[in-house]
Amino acid sequence: MKRLRHIPLFLLVVLLLVLLPASAAAKDHSTTVLFTHDLHSHFLPQPDGEGGGSGGYARLKTALDRERRAHPDALTLDGGDFSVGSLIQTLYTTQGAELRTMGALGYDAAAVGNHEFDHGGTGFAQMLHAVMSSGEKAPALLMANYKPAADSPDQLDIQRAMAAYDVQDHMLLERGGIVYGIFGLMGEDAHACAPSSGFALGDMVSNAQRCVDDLREQGAQFIICLSHAGTHEKKKLSEDERLAEKVEGIDLIVSGHTHTTLEEPILVNGTYIVSAGPYCQALGSITIDWTEGGGKVLADYRLIPIDEALPEDQDIARLVERWKGLVGGTYLGRYGLTYDQVLTRTDFDLPAPVSGVQSGNALGELAADAFLWATGHLEADSPDVQTVAVTADGVLRAPLAKGEITTSMAFDVLSMGVGSDGTSGFPLVGVYLTGKELKAAAEVDASVTPLMPAAQLYMAGMDYSFNTHRVFFNRVTDCRIQNSADQVEDDQLYRVVTGMYSAQMLGTVKSKSMGLLSLEPKMADGSPVTDFEACILRDENGNEIKEWYALAAYLQSFGEEGLSPRYSHPNGDGRKHVSRSWDPIELVTGLNWIGTAALLLLTGAAALAVWLVRWARAAKRRRRYGGIRRKKW
């Protein structure tokens, strides 16, 4: 009997010995992904207004090296928009500086964003050829739902360039004994922001599911989507959250385009969604523990600041200096400027507009003043007519910090686009609007901005006022010529100077306002504009006057004395007066037909509500007294 007592213990030991190998075989794997997105050519640190600066690829390399030492099998991935945002972007088509530098940083793969097509599909192809010609290492580019349009005249050339670079829908990558499947997507809003791409957008969901299924079939154990679609506070606008809901099998989405910073990952349908913020301000790092059975656990998530606390990697620093030298010898040569040349100084910060907050903004007003100044100082044969200059929130890409303002800083503010000359930077254009249409433009600022923050406008040459509590499309209460008592006359033609992108957007106002507002850009004789290139402002040598150069030259005009104190107030100098008063007189004075119709509708609704209340009370009294009479009877 004593021997039998030890049998259960013996069986337990045998059972443990049998199970241990199986347990070891099923042990968890661990995946670390280092990620960025929306780098926007931020090769160099950007001043933060407090004596420091964020970003810079030499610092980023130091952060990457530290993380790779801790996680030798980590992947390094990017969510797109790696170009357009600094002077070095001017080397995009000729040098492919962005991808070549990302290769030196050790990136494994990247998505393609809408700003990679600012030079059109042919510019994208030229960039790919430039990278291939260098013979240098560069990350894989993944595009599963974005292809050259069938009707594109340059379709074959673009396809050849993509084939030479080996742009793919998806890829397998083995690292640390694990097979990763990675694919790239372009979002719907991102595609809408690339009107000159010449590419056609395929459905995100079906293409994503196709990639997941293909990669799983090829042996991928962990699936990563590099998405240039983004997340949003409003669920219906959060494309990557919708993607994760509808597609089965994605383990991780690196989400770009909306410049979102996610302090914690979003978990949707078993998919982690991550974003580190734009402009190389942070390096994202996520570690996920997982099993072959599909179980995933978040082990670590960090956004590592790329700031002055990090020393610069000297190899990358030298590479960036090389790019700067090339910019100075090519693009800037025609302007007689150098990369770090000091234009003037400012004793105060000029912050970028706060998205969605309706107010004036000193930086926006500075840019508009620069455009107006350019018509009198840079433009050849400028017409002697009343002119209004306009710029928009969406094209102001960087603030100006207190201290010296250099050429590169001026470029950063207005770095978007490309001109008809094929070089970086949107040109200024001059079109004509009636006074009635100018008031409608002010109404776009007043009424469309809450729905579309990038539409917020800043003007020079015209003052205007609006009340945010008035009826939509009837919020503007006053429009007059700047620094005068002269009202804007409905039937008079006024010249409007703005950037090419903003000018092209004027024609979309009718659809954005549901047909309630209409702006039709015109030529000086009042005929409709059919070709905006014919409206480009040019200097005495016939060169395009770029938005950024108008700003740089205007800044330079202030000299050593520094920027005028009239720009010292962050919310502007009062040329745009935004009222939030509930004063009934202010709310109903000067109503147009939209405001009048809304007031009549509101009055009718109020009268109906009063009638219904009275009818309900009368019915209640009838029931009560009728019941009493019946009881007495």
Whether residue 330 lies inside any domain: the answer is no
Q: In what order do the strands lie in the sheet with 457-460?
A: 428-434, 493-499, 387-392, 457-460
* Domain end call among 285, 305, 325: 305
pLDDT digits (tens, 9 = 90+) for 80-94: 999 999 999 999 999
- Give CA–CA dist 127/124, Å, rounded: 5
- Asked if residue 344 and residue 295 are part of one domain, the reply reads no
pLDDT digits (tens, 9 = 90+) for 266-284: 999 999 999 999 999 999 9
- Residue 130 near residue 97, CB atoms below 8 Å: no
b/e map 274-283, b = 16+ CB within 10 Å: bbbbbbbbbb
Q: How many residues does the chain have?
A: 633
- Asked if residue 412 and residue 272 are part of one domain, the reply reads no
* Cα atoms in the Cβ-side hemisphere of radius 13 Å centred on 75: 32
CATH code at 458? 3.90.780.10
Whether residue 138 lies inside any domain: the answer is yes
Q: Which of 111, 371, 123, 366 is nearest to 257 (CA)?
A: 111
Distance, CA of 476 to chain centre: 28
* Domain end call among 582, 600, 617: 582
Q: Which residues touch 555 (CB under 8 Å, ≥6 apart)?
A: 343, 344, 370, 405, 410, 563
Supply the pLDDT for residue 583.
87
- Give CA–CA dist 316/311, Å, rounded: 11
3-state secondary structure of 380: coil
- Asked if residue 358 and residue 221 are part of one domain, the reply reads no
Q: Which residues touch 248 (CB under 8 Å, ≥6 apart)?
A: 209, 212, 269
pLDDT digits (tens, 9 = 90+) for 110-162: 999 999 999 999 999 999 999 999 999 999 999 999 999 988 888 999 999 99
- Structural domain that includes position 148: 34-305
- Asked if residue 372 and residue 287 are part of one domain, the reply reads no
Supply the pLDDT for residue 7.
44
Q: Which residues pair with 171 in a beta bridge?
A: 182
- Asked if residue 366 and residue 253 are part of one domain, the reply reads no
- Asked if residue 411 and residue 548 are part of one domain, the reply reads yes
* Domain end call among 305, 326, 360: 305
Whether residue 220 lies inside any domain: the answer is yes
The total of other beta-carbon atoms located within 10 Å of residue 540's CB is: 9
CATH code at 178? 3.60.21.10
pLDDT digits (tens, 9 = 90+) for 570-594: 999 999 999 999 988 888 887 665 6
Helices (H), 106-251: 120-134, 155-165, 188-192, 204-217, 239-246
DSSP 8-class letter at 369: H
- Give CA–CA dist 248/350, Å, rounded: 46
pLDDT digits (tens, 9 = 90+) for 32-74: 999 999 999 999 998 766 667 889 999 999 999 999 999 999 9
Whether residue 378 lies inside any domain: the answer is yes
- Asked if residue 360 and residue 301 are part of one domain, the reply reads no
